[in-house]
Amino acid sequence: MTAAVQLSNVSKTFGAGADAVHAFGPVDLAIEGGAFISLLGPSGCGKSTLMLMIAGLLAVSDGEIRVNGERVSKPRTDIGIMFQDNTLVPWRHVEGNIALQLELRGLDPKANQPKIDELLKSVRLEGFAHRMPHELSGGMQQRAAFCQALVHDPKTVLLDEPLGKLDAMTRESIRNDLQALWMQKRPTVVFVTHSIEEAVQLSSRVCVVTPRPGRIDRVIDIDLPWPRDLAVKRSARFANYVADIQGIFHGFGIL
């Protein structure tokens, strides 16, 4: 079986000659379909760079990336993508922003209205469909951005620290929404974060990324039951995973 996302000897170097900065890799990784993979590492280790390369928005310097068996050489349109700064445009209300994803793809938002409504409901934004982004809190904006990133039913979803700018309590709450959405639709998710607890809670596998130039130091299968609710998070096994990973970063000299 081919992996949903296959990285073979992928690396990225910015610039050339003496000024060249080796930002990432080389990395090999196979991500199976339907998995929730976290790229966990310190700031500036090249996690976001890797994500952009998977999306085809940034060329690899060396190696090869395949998504669903196809070599990535241009921006992929079968993915959903989300960044730390959301891509809601200020001149459209929430529903219009979700529709923007469809309109840019030449799809009819009206025909997809039930799907939009369902998504809004699943992130508890029903009743806010006609609010403008500036009328929403940061957390609500990110929830709306999830809907925007998922409305075209992408098989692969790339999330680049989507909760990075939110306060701890909001993060916690949105993690649960995100997990519920993933369990329901089961896309392949690549999730970039620097929160160990977040990675352990959400992921089927955690890739520990070293400081720059980022390499995947090890891949840890998180064998905990779903959904990862409060009971799971209180468990000794959850705490062990977190402590183990903390130990790894301690070894890097980061923690």
Terminal alpha carbon distance of the chain: 38
- Tell whether residue 57 is a contact of other proteins (CB under 8 A): yes
Nearest Cα residue to 160 out of 8, 57, 248? 57
List the Cα angle 155/161/163 in 5-degree steps.
105
- Tell whether residue 76 is a contact of other proteins (CB under 8 A): yes
In whole angstroms, the minimum distance from the beta carbon of 4 to other proteins comes to: 17
Rounded-to-integer distance, Cα 221 and Cα 205, Å: 4
Of the candidate spans 101-109, 201-209, 213-221, 234-242, the one that interacts with other proteins by CB under 8 A turns out to be 101-109
- Tell whether residue 119 is a contact of other proteins (CB under 8 A): no
- Tell whether residue 77 is a contact of other proteins (CB under 8 A): yes
Q: H/E element holding 104?
A: helix 94-104
Closest CB to other proteins among residues 106, 114: 106
- Tell whether residue 103 is a contact of other proteins (CB under 8 A): yes
In whole angstroms, the minimum distance from the beta carbon of 211 to other proteins comes to: 23
Q: Note the residues at the interface with other proteins (CB under 8 A).
A: 52, 55, 57, 75-77, 79, 81, 83, 85-87, 89-91, 100-101, 103-106, 132, 134
